[in-house]
Structure 1
Amino acid sequence: MTLTQQRKKQLRAIGHNLKPVVMISENGLTEGVLNELNRALNDHELIKVKLAIPERIDRAEVASAVVAETNSTLVQTIGKIILICREARKPNPKLSNLLR
């Protein structure tokens, strides 16, 4: 999914008040973390992920792996927090961050 600058701006505004729902440590992307990421993206569509990894280069690699493995789009990276988006086929209006 390709995002225009205006759409990215809208998503960043929505994501500003969100708290990270998944934390990835130095163990990296395990099967459990991937399952949780996919569940959160299916429910919420727009989520923050905290990367508890000290090295900047390693964080960038993990962030790109998260985007590739979950088939999502990277909206924003600030320090150790990434904001990713994947639109659901049938979003739940009570859970979706995009519809609220």
Structure 2
Amino acid sequence: MLALSVAQRRELKARAHTLHPIVMIGKTGLSENVIDEVDRGLTSHELIKIKVQIDDRIARNALFEEICQRLDAAAVQHIGKILVIFRPNLEQILKKPSDSVKRKKREPFRTKRSFQN
């Protein structure tokens, strides 16, 4: 299971605030299809919300931990029946060569006098 610092968790909570749940887990619990769908969601979005229909809080906590362990993800937040899970996308991390690319120097702003000549 992935570990997050307090600052990272706070930033992820703020990002997740506007998200809608993309996976719903019914009263039957966790199945392979649900795990596959959560994995697919984490691969494409990195940060997802899951809505759980189980009323028992202890069962929801166990479900939350099991999902995070099986998918090597980080548990961000658990409020009521909503779970927030994060797993960084390794492909995007490895693709970031933008640090080595030099940016084009910006032209200075034209002043009022430059238009008059």
The equivalent residue for 1:78 is 79
The equivalent residue for 2:36 is 35
Deviations 1:16-43 (A, max 9, x none): 0000000111211111101101000000
The equivalent residue for 1:10 is 11
1:59 aligns with 2:24: no
Cα root mean square deviation, aligned: 0.9
CA distance in 1 between partners of 2:52 and 2:71 (Å): 15
- 5+ residue gaps, structure 2: 93-117
CA distance in 2 between partners of 1:59 and 1:7 (Å): 23
CA distance in 1 between partners of 2:70 and 2:14 (Å): 25
Structure possessing the higher relative contact order (Cα contacts under 8 Å, 6 or more residues apart): 1
What TM-score do you get using the length of structure 2 for normalisation?
0.75
Q: Which aligned runs of 4 or more in structure 1 are off by greater than 6 angstroms?
A: none
The equivalent residue for 1:48 is 49
Counterpart secondary structure, 1:90: helix
Counterpart secondary structure, 2:18: coil
What TM-score do you get using the length of structure 1 for normalisation?
0.87
Deviations 1:49-85 (A, max 9, x none): 1111011111111111111111100001100001100
Give the number of aligned pairs: 91
**Quick check: which one's strand share is greater?**
1
